[in-house]
Amino acid sequence: MTYPDYLPDLDHAVDATLVATRSLTRVELVRAIEIRRRQIEHDRHAMREWQQALAQADRFWTRHPDWSFGQCLDAILAAAHRNAGRSEVLS
């Protein structure tokens, strides 16, 4: 199985022993901090994507408050497809 870069190699985690933070060596603590930093970076990126998706969906939720997010996504994709055929040549 392949995991995102910010996660440790989890294929071997089944055999791993959980260690209390207070027993970590400096090298282990630095590595744990780096792993956590990457996780937070990934979470921030995911949050931006979710916020952008909400902003796009809100265009349709305003008119159709009973729609699901999936229905809004379908409407977004349909609108993008319609607009893709309307290319203008600007001079």
Token representation of residue 25? 């060596």
DSSP letters, 55-84, are: HHHHHHHTT-TT--HHHHHHHHHHHHHHHH
2: Cβ–Cβ under 8 A, 6 or more apart, which residues? none
Q: Is the pTM of this model over 0.85?
A: no
Q: What is the pLDDT of residues 1-58, one digit of tens each?
A: 555 665 555 555 545 567 788 899 999 999 999 999 999 999 999 999 999 999 999 9
Token representation of residue 44? 């921030």
Measured CA to CA, the distance from residue 22 to residue 24 in angstroms comes to 6
